[in-house]
Amino acid sequence: MNKFQEFLQKTLVPFSNKLGQNKILQSISAGMVMTLPVTIGASVFSILASFPIKSVSDWFNSIGITKPMNAVVNGSMNILAVFIAFSIAYNYAKKSKANGVIAGLFSLSSFFVLAPQTVPSGKKVVTAFKMDYLGSNGIIVAIILSILIAMLYVRLSKVKRLVIKLPDSVPSMVSTSIEPLIIGIIIFTIVFIVGAFFSYTPYNNVFDFVNKLITAPLVHVGGSPWTIILIITLSNLLFFFGIHPAAIQSVIMPIVISMMVASAPIYQSGKQIPYLKNLVAFGFSNNDAAGATLSLILVGLIFGKSKRYKEFFKVSSIPGLFNINEPVVFGLPIVLNPLMLIPFLLSTLISGSIAMIAVNIGFITNYNPMLGLGVPWTMPKVIADFLIMGWQGAVVWIINFVIMFFIYLPFFKVLDQQALEAEQNEPKKEEN
């Protein structure tokens, strides 16, 4: 075990630390988080518009409010690429000590410049932005473009000759807007050249180029169910060494979000979504928080004999219920605790495998991608799974919870016995 820990500390841990400190990945992660208010706010209407109880859903439709509720979803989660185009560039510029708002606006405007601006309507062509490019088919472009535009803006803003300086008597609001004028001309000239270049290619635009040559194989390979499960397992392994899993999971989040957004209109039409296995695998890659530690908490509450663990699990139970398991990971601890390594890693493999079986046998038949985007991460997982996948999702969660309960049980008993013996020996040490 010691040699294995040394091997991982020399190889994976430095790599993960470097990955987590990367400015680009940090900006993508922060930019994604910035969109949560939009997705969470719209998720209320998504729940009502696609209510899991059919009688209620039919009643909403009969009184004519389903369409307005879907409009809320279309104006928020279904144009997520638009928000991402701004938020990632904003965060990159802020981390580079530049004007985040200006960078975000340049990126957002460039996104619309490159987006196709005509939509076929029968035999005519209407000037408009197609929703597909603003949502699922635009997310990868928005991520790449926002980083490139932000990097370009940051570099150009450091060239003093390109920044227009106005006298101090000019209001700051005006001077701040005028300063990047030359930089804006340079950025839009480059964006124009890129857009014109792709208009002469068989792809017609950069969106179709990216989706046909990059996004499709990326989703097929990087977003396969077992790839998702293995990546989450790897992130849990790093968590065992004290490296937060967000650094690794941020790599697959753009792919998962792309699949969710692409599936949203299909789900709204009442059909089975195309990425069912992928999204179910992602949903159950951690049955609750990382390592399915809620099962461990219940084991400790029921079978804990040592004073240390009985009190500890009482305190950590409420945060654990809401998927906050840092108290358990760092307080039990699970970090660098050889006894907890095996069940902690098995959790994702087991829960993900059972989820795959549930899909293969036809037990889980659909997944609400809009709720997958909008449900807050602190919502108890069994409730979230019920809302996203129906009662079947809640049943699979319970099965996983019970299995992990019995897997954690023997490991915890050994740990608890060690703590109990240490407590029993304390008075003897005092007497000596």
With bands split at pLDDT 50, 70 and 90, how would you rate the model's confidence at 272? confident
Given this model, what pLDDT does residue 108 score? 95
- Looking at residue 151, its pLDDT comes to 95
Q: What angle do CA 229, 235, 241 make, to 5 degrees?
A: 145
Neighbours of 25 (CB within 10 A): 18
**Neighbour-count burial for 133-166, b at 16+ CB within 10 Å, e otherwise:** bbbbbbbbbbbebbbbbbbbbbebbeeeebeeee
Banded pLDDT at 236 (limits 50, 70, 90)? confident
Assess contact for 351 and 245: CB atoms under 8 A.
Answer: no
What six digits make up the tokens of 300? Answer: 């400790």
Mean pLDDT, range 294-300, rounded to an integer:
92
Mean pLDDT of the chain: 82
Which has more confidence, 148 or 203? 148
The whole-model pTM stands at 0.63
Could you tell me which residues are beta bridge partners of residue 36? none
Q: pLDDT above 70 covers what percent of the chain?
A: 85
Between residues 165 and 116, which one has the greater pLDDT? 116
Contact by Cβ (8 Å): 356, 280: yes
- Look up residue 168 and give its DSSP letter: T
Whether 108 and 85 have beta carbons less than 8 Å apart is answered as yes
Domain ranges of the chain: 1-24+223-432
Separation CA 393–CA 396 (nearest Å): 5
The per-residue pLDDT for range 328-350, each reduced to its tens digit, is 887 787 876 777 888 898 899 99
SS3 167: coil
* pLDDT reading at 118 higher than 80: yes
- Tell me the per-residue pLDDT of 154-194, one tens digit each, with 9 for 90 and over: 999 988 888 777 777 667 777 777 888 899 999 999 999 99
Q: What is the structure's pLDDT at 429?
A: 47
pLDDT in the model for residue 189: 95
Preceding omega of 333 cis (within 30 degrees of 0): yes
Report percent pLDDT > 90 for the chain. Answer: 23
Instruction: Considering only residues 368 and 255, tell me which one the structure prediction assigns the higher pLDDT.
Output: 368
- Give the Cα separation of 184 and 156 in Å (integer): 10
The CA distance from 341 to 334, in Å, is 7
Higher pLDDT, 319 or 282: 282
CB atoms under 10 Å from CB of 353, counted, come to 16
